[in-house]
Amino acid sequence: MQNICEAWCKRLIMTTNKETAISGVLEIYPDRFDDDRGFFSEIYNLRRLAALGINETFVQDNLSLSTYPPVLRGLHFQRRPHAQAKLIGVMTGSIFDVIVDIREGSPTYKQWFGLKISAKKGNQLFVPKGFAHGFLTLEANTSVFYKVTDYYSKEDERSIRYDDPDIGITWPATSDDPIISDKDKAAPMLVDVDNNYKYLGGT
Q: How far apart are CA 96 and CA 99, in angstroms?
A: 10
Annotated catalytic residue within 76, 133, 162, 197: 76
Whether 76 is catalytic is yes
| Alpha carbon of residue 160 to chain centroid | 16
Dihedral pair phi/psi, residue 51, rounded to 5°:
-65, -20
Annotated catalytic residue within 29, 133, 146, 199: 146
Element (H, E) at 74: strand 72-78
Question: CA neighbours within 13 Å on the CB side: how many for 183?
Answer: 7
Centre a 10 Å sphere on the Cβ of residue 74 and count the other Cβ atoms it contains. 23
Whether 152 is catalytic is no
**Catalytic positions:** 76, 146
